[in-house]
Each structure stands twice: as C-alpha cells, then as structure tokens.
Amino acid sequence: MSLRTRLATPPLLLVPGVYDALSALLAEQAGFEALYLSGASIAYTRLARSDVGLTTYSEVEDTLARVTDRVRVPVIVDADTGFGNAVNVQRTVRGFERAGAAMIQLEDQAFPKRCGHLDGKAVIPAAEMAGKLRAALDARASADTLILARTDALALEGLDAALDRAEAYFACGVDALFIEALRTPAQMDAACARFAARVPLLANMVEGGQTPIEPAAQLQARGFRIAIFPGGTARAVAHTLQGYFASLKAHGSTVPWRDHMLDFDELNAAIGTPDLLANARRYAS
C-alpha cells in the first residue's frame, strides 16, 4: 500500500522518529507502518548538537539512503527549509526521492532554521514559501512521492496567520499539512476544523515541547491523520545511555545492566546476521 493510499484510510498513522538504520529497523520490527526521519534527531546523534540548522543536505540524504536500504516501510523525511531557495529545494526533492523518501517535509522558516519548539524562529514570506513548494512539486519524479508543507508562523504571527499560510500552501497542491507548535487543544481543534476534511493534517508530539502530548486515538478524534513522535527515540536512547554509562563506571562491569540490554546473539538476531551469513554462503566458492 502506498503512503498516499494509507493516509486516505483510517486509523490515524502513528509514526515514530528514527535517526539511523538501526533505529529504523527496530521500529519496523515493532510493527510501525511508517517512519519519520527526524532532522533534529540527526543533529542530536550525528553531531551531538542542537537542531539549529547545522545539518546539511548531504548528511540527511546519506542517512535517508541508509535507512531506506534497510527497511521496507515508507519513510517521511524532514527536509527542513529545503537547504536554500527554490532551486535548492528542487535538488533536495530529487535527491531525497532517489534516496527512497515516501514523503518530504518542507518548512517556511528562514535560514538558519531551528527546532519548531525553540524560541527565536523567523519565517520567510508566504509567497516565497509557496514558490518553494511549487518547485518541490515540479521536481518530484513520481506523484507517489508526497510533499508535506509545514508552517512555523504560529509563534510569530498568531494562529489565524498560520492557518492562512497553511491554506496558501494547500492551494499549491501539497499532499499534507503540518502546523507546527499548536499550543492548546483549542488551537489543535481550530486547525482540524479548517483542514481535516480536505487534506491529511499532521500532529507533532514533542516531549516537553509547546504542543500538548495526546495519544493517537485522541488525535484521530480531533481529525489528525498523522501523528509523529520525532525526537522521542533519541531522547529515550540518551536516557538509556546515561544510565548504562553510569552503571559501567560505578561497577566496572555490564553485569548489573544485563537485563536492560541485548547480548551478542540477541543483537545479531535483531539485525539479521544469520540470514546475512546464509546469503554469503550462496556465493562461496
């Protein structure tokens, strides 16, 4: 089933954030139907830096290609601002499509962008963003590669302006909308009242962020069709590693942590080592 078809079919699509091939594989094995390659999580894990526009096109494309080589489920990729103007956006869309993206997210922040739940954002004019979206739609080779338009205007211009921007982006022909950092249930309902009957609307669940965290069933009842938990994976891993390293330092051994980790054989089973070795034997002389 294509991502376009899935988004037209209930229930809401629950999508975890991933940041590399291993996290993507484990999410797929857990039964998720799609994955979200988080730009913030790439910054967290590849650079150990904040989501403030430091990651580059090539770093995201490389990560995306490694993820899609390892999993079969659709991958939604965070393309930030498209890494430049409309011409850069076209390069980004073509490259990410070749790398296997099922949906490409583009936002209307000015460069350098930053996490949508950080203060200090700036946005480009709506007309400029509309041009970038039209460029993205023209650049894709297949209509099955979906374009997701995100606006960060709420924090700067207010809800009405953000909804008007989303309306303008929808008029360009994009496949889904993302109104970032909705701050209250009432704002979430206002967004859904305006768009949910016409286009898939994405809810962004950021632990400690501006938007109230709600379960998938409640988000579906509001009218959202996609819910992403983009940075939760990296935050969970960071929390786990803090505990692991503290235990190893304190005890000089991993024995106390054994019940919280995979052993050698368990990890190899998870990543498919037996199948890989069996395949290699087919080509042995």
Q: Which of 61, 180, 82 is nearest to 135 (CA)?
A: 82
pLDDT value of position 118: 66
In a domain, 246, yes or no: no
**Residue 119: per-residue pLDDT:** 74
Give the mean pLDDT of 191-210: 95
Is 197 inside any structural domain? yes
Q: At what angle do helices 264-271 and 21-29 cross, to 10 degrees?
A: 80
Mean pLDDT within 18-24: 98
- Predicted TM-score (pTM) of the model is 0.96
In a domain, 78, yes or no: yes
Structural domain includes residue 42? yes
CA-based torsion, 264, 269, 273, 279: positive or negative:
positive
Q: How many separate domains does the chain show?
A: 1
Give the separation between CA 31 and CA 242, rounded to whole angstroms: 27
- The 10s digit of each residue's pLDDT in 101-119 is 999 999 999 988 876 576 7
Does the structure show a pLDDT above 70 at 214?
yes
Q: Give the pLDDT of residue 250.
A: 98
55 is a domain residue: yes
pLDDT grade, residue 84 (50/70/90)? very high
Examine residue 33 and state whether it is found in any structural domain, yes or no.
yes
Confirm whether 130 is domain-assigned. Answer: yes
Going by C-alpha positions, the residue among 53, 48, 98 that lies closest to residue 78 is 53
**pLDDT tens readout for residues 2-11:** 999 999 999 9
What is the Cα–Cα distance from 107 to 151, expressed in whole angstroms? 6
Residue 52: domain span: 3-237
What band does 285 get if pLDDT is binned at 50, 70 and 90? confident
What distance lies between CA 263 and its chain's CA centroid? 30
Domain assignment present for residue 81? The answer is yes
Band of pLDDT at residue 44, cut at 50, 70 and 90: very high
Interstrand relation of 35-37 and 201-204 (parallel, antiparallel or unpaired)? unpaired
The CATH number of whichever domain residue 25 belongs to comes to 3.20.20.60
User: In this structure, are residues 183 and 90 in contact, taking their beta carbons and an 8 Å threshold?
Assistant: no
pLDDT number for residue 209 = 84
Consecutive H or E run containing 15: strand 13-18
User: What value does the mean pLDDT of the chain take?
Assistant: 96
- When pLDDT is cut at 50, 70 and 90, the band that residue 51 belongs to is confident
C-alpha 171/C-alpha 263 separation (Å) is 52
Question: pLDDT digits over 141-184, tens only?
Answer: 999 999 999 999 999 999 999 999 999 999 999 999 999 999 99
∠ Cα 69 74 76 (to 5°): 100
Is residue 121 scored above 90 in pLDDT?
A: no
pLDDT at 53 over 90: no
